[in-house]
């Protein structure tokens, strides 16, 4: 039985009692449950037996040591390469002894803490002893590890082995290492400008082994300070300030979780935020904390104020981070105070004023939603008139302070009332002159009854039959109207229907004569007349008339020259759309009407006639205009100039005219013509209404 710490120990067991049998070797290890150690190590197990050999044997013996003295448990093996071998293990004094047949042998030395060593050419002579001593080299050891701050690796840490002058620097993952170290106890120093210098002593290096030593360095501290105030600028005392490490520790085991201080707070996913420090602000709203450099989340809590957290605050080593924080008072949601049930009456104006209070003293903003279309919103008021058939409904009130809100559904009970009928037929219509007009009155009643229909105040040309009023608009009708009445036995609806009557345009009628007469050499005048049933302004035109006729407005006039024959002309009278026309037959009569002495035909006998005649005879002026045709001679005579009655117009007539004007002579006229009348122009004075087409 072994317990505690022991070096390698060689043990031998006699198996002669089992000679001639097949045996199994079992190693049994027993322990208790109180203390845990590394366990049991077994190595280099050899089973040997005596061999009968007639070859003389010799002995190889010696001492195995290293720089520190003799070596225990070194396995020494002799081998001549011809099948002869021998093995021995050194005792605590380092001595071994191997009996082998004589020959040329090689020796190998193996020990767990030393480099394997071998020799050749060892001559063994029968019945003699060959001494071979061996000095073995101890295996070197190593030290390696990782430097962290408890969570993250630290690069560029200078690691030195005290008193040996060995130095290494950690890489990006915080790793360092030293090799080829003698087996002894070492002391390591760790240095970094952002961390406290750290020394780890008593690191034991054993031969051939790799020693691992991870190191956690503590950060150097910095200052975090601040002043807390409210929104008015007043400094806040007794604000609880809690400084948490910004790094989440996830996957914490339950036993560790129970050990964490109540100062720690748990994140939503169950991870822990480690509280590094906590304190209360003083009467000046000030706090200060001396903590390791790094990034922190700082939470601020005070009754009546909104909890506030500042994330990612950086504290540098040997430096001060200062902050100023304004905390807001807790905002309470508004509370709607207006009633949740109200009533409205069909067709009657309804109005609801929403009211609300806010514990923070602000005036909430009020709005409405989910209301029927007949309601309209204005500020804090919702109003409208329930239409026919409107059912009970609801609307929602929202009271908000800009951050929090209260809502309330208001139930609105709509009370129905009896409604008058409603005329649905149009309130205007159009009729056309001389064409049958018909209008059918229609109406509905909200309660579903059939209203009675009546008419009143309609013109005489309309007649009523049941729900229809009809008739023919007369000539030249005027726009009119009539009233429609719909009655449900209690209430009535009345509608004035405006009736526009479209007049039909009738053609004008020419009323002037269709036959007329004109006399040669006498001025002729014809006035066209017409009537229009629609009393429109008429436009009068003439065409197809003789060249001696001229048109002025609604008249056509002219003097038929000698030789003129009967002729015609056409009258066209238009109202702008329709027209009437009439071809007038014109009978041209011969005649000779003149005034003796009126040579220039100005209807007077004066000195101007003398001048006119003199200029005519001298070839300087026009010929006299008045003449009569002599059937007997087949020629025309200037009868107005024949003053002496000799049926010629000569200079003697001028002499007679002068005498006449002087009062010394009388005028005569040609006996071939009738006695001249006292007027020169006779106009047609027959009344218009006596003319025929």
Output the domain CATH number for residue 174.
2.60.40.1120
List pLDDT tens digits, range 386-417: 998 899 999 999 999 998 999 999 999 999 88
Judgement on whether residues 554 and 605 belong to the same structural domain of the protein: no
- Residue tagged 């526009």 (tokens): 500
Q: Rounded to 10 degrees, what is the CA torsion of 582, 588, 589, 595?
A: 110
pLDDT of residue 592: 66
Judgement on whether residues 89 and 37 belong to the same structural domain of the protein: yes
pTM higher than the cut 0.75: no
Judgement on whether residues 212 and 154 belong to the same structural domain of the protein: yes
Tokens representing 450 are: 């059939």
Q: Is residue 469 part of a domain?
A: yes
Judgement on whether residues 244 and 306 belong to the same structural domain of the protein: yes
Decide which of 538, 566, 589 is a domain's last residue. 589
Judgement on whether residues 28 and 104 belong to the same structural domain of the protein: yes
Tokens representing 136 are: 């073995």
Domain count, the chain: 7
pLDDT of residue 261: 40
Judgement on whether residues 354 and 458 belong to the same structural domain of the protein: no
CB-CB neighbours of 432 under 10 Å: 15
pLDDT of residue 246: 67
Closest by alpha carbon to 153, among 178, 172, 169, 167? 172
Judgement on whether residues 303 and 269 belong to the same structural domain of the protein: yes
CB 572 within 8 A of CB 578: no
pLDDT of residue 386: 95
pLDDT of residue 361: 86
Q: Is residue 672 part of a domain?
A: yes
Judgement on whether residues 314 and 349 belong to the same structural domain of the protein: no
Mention every residue, 6+ apart, whose C-beta is less than 8 A from residue 487: 421, 451, 452, 454
Q: Is residue 382 part of a domain?
A: yes
Distance CA 381, CA 234 (A): 39
Q: What is the CATH number of the domain that holds 343?
A: 2.60.40.10
Q: Is residue 681 part of a domain?
A: no
pLDDT of residue 274: 63
Mean pLDDT by 10 residues, the chain (693 residues): 63 76 74 65 74 78 94 95 94 95 95 93 94 95 94 94 92 96 93 93 92 93 94 95 70 37 45 74 95 92 93 90 93 94 95 94 94 97 93 96 94 90 95 94 90 95 96 91 94 95 90 90 90 89 96 94 88 93 89 76 86 90 73 69 85 90 87 55 30 25
Decide which of 472, 502, 532 is a domain's last residue. 502
Note down the domain range covering 470: 422-502
Judgement on whether residues 410 and 302 belong to the same structural domain of the protein: no
Q: Is residue 174 part of a domain?
A: yes
Q: Is residue 346 part of a domain?
A: yes
Distance CA 110, CA 76 (A): 7
Judgement on whether residues 118 and 22 belong to the same structural domain of the protein: yes
Judgement on whether residues 279 and 357 belong to the same structural domain of the protein: no
Positive or negative, the Cα torsion across 42, 44, 45, 50? negative
Q: Is residue 692 part of a domain?
A: no
Judgement on whether residues 128 and 26 belong to the same structural domain of the protein: yes
Rg of the chain on CA atoms, in Å: 74
Closest by alpha carbon to 368, among 390, 395, 335? 395
Decide which of 216, 232, 250 is a domain's last residue. 216
Q: Is residue 2 part of a domain?
A: no
CB-CB neighbours of 646 under 10 Å: 14
């Amino acid at each position: 039985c072994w317990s505690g710490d022991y070096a390698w120990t060689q043990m031998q067991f006699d198996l002669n009692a089992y000679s001639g049998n097949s045996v199994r070797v079992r190693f049994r290890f027993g322990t208790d449950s109180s203390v845990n150690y590394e366990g049991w190590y077994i190595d280099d197990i050899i089973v040997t037996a005596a061999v009968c050999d007639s070859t003389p044997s010799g002995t190889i013996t010696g001492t195995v040591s290293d720089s520190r003295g003799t070596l225990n448990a070194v396995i020494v093996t002799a081998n001549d390469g011809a099948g002869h071998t021998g093995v021995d293990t050194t005792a605590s004094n380092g001595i071994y002894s191997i009996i082998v047949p004589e020959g040329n042998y090689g020796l190998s030395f193996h020990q767990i803490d030393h480099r394997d060593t071998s020799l050749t050419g060892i001559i063994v002579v029968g019945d003699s002893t060959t001494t071979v001593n061996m000095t073995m080299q101890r295996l070197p050891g190593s030290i390696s590890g990782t430097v962290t701050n408890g969570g993250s690796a630290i690069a560029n840490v200078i690691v030195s082995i005290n008193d040996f002058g060995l130095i290494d620097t950690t890489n990006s993952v915080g790793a360092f290492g030293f090799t080829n170290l003698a087996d002894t106890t070492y002391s390591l120093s760790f240095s970094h400008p952002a961390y406290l210098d750290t020394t780890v002593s008593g690191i034991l290096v054993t031969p051939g082994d790799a020693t691992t030593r991870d190191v956690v360095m503590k950060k150097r501290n910095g200052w975090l300070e601040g002043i807390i105030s409210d929104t008015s600028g007043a400094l806040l005392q007794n604000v609880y300030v809690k400084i948490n490490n910004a790094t989440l520790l996830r996957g914490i085991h339950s036993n560790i979780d129970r050990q964490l201080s109540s100062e720690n707070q748990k994140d939503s996913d169950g991870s822990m935020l480690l509280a590094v420090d906590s304190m209360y602000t003083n009467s000046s709203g000030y706090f200060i904390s001396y903590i390791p450099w790094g990034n922190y989340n700082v939470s601020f809590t005070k009754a009546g104020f909104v909890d506030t957290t500042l994330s990612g605050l950086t504290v540098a080593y040997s430096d001060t981070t200062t902050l100023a924080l304004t905390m807001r008072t807790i905002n309470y949601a508004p509370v709607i105070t207006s009633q949740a049930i109200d009533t409205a009456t069909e067709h009657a104006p309804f109005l609801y004023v929403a009211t609300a209070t806010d514990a923070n003293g602000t005036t909430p903003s009020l709005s409405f939603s989910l209301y029927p279309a007949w309601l309209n919103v204005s500020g804090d008021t919702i109003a409208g008139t329930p239409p026919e058939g409107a059912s009970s409904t609801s609307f929602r009130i929202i009271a908000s302070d800009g951050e929090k809100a209260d809502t309330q559904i208001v139930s609105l009970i709509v009370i129905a009332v009896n409604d008058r009928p409603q005329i649905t037929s149009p309130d205007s219509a159009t009729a056309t002159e001389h064409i049958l007009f018909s209008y059918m009155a229609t109406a509905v009643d909200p309660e579903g009854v059939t209203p009675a229909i009546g008419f009143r105040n309609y013109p005489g040309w309309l007649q009523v039959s049941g729900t229809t009023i009809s008739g023919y608009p007369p000539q030249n009708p005027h726009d009119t109207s009539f009233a429609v009445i719909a009655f449900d036995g209690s209430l009535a609806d009345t509608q004035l229907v405006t009736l526009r009557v479209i007049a039909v345009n009738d053609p004008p009628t020419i009323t002037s004569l269709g036959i007329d007469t004109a006399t040669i050499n006498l001025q002729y005048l014809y006035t066209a007349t017409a009537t229009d049933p629609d009393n429109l302004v008429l436009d009068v035109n003439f065409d197809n008339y003789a060249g001696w006729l001229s048109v002025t407005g609604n008249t056509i006039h002219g003097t038929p020259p000698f030789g003129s024959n009967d002729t015609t002309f056409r009258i066209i009278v238009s109202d702008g759309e329709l027209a009437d026309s009439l071809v007038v037959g014109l009978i041209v009569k011969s005649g000779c009407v003149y005034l003796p002495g009126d040579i220039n035909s100005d209807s007077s006998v004066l000195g101007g006639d003398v001048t006119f005649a003199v200029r005519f005879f001298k070839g300087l002026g026009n010929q006299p205009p008045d003449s009569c045709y002599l059937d007997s001679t087949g020629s025309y005579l200037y009868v107005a100039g024949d003053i002496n009655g000799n049926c010629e117009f000569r200079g003697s007539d001028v002499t007679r005219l002068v005498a006449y004007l002087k009062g010394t002579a009388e005028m005569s006229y040609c006996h071939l013509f009738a006695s001249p009348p006292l007027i020169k122009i006779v106009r047609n004075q027959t009344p218009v209404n006596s003319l025929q087409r």
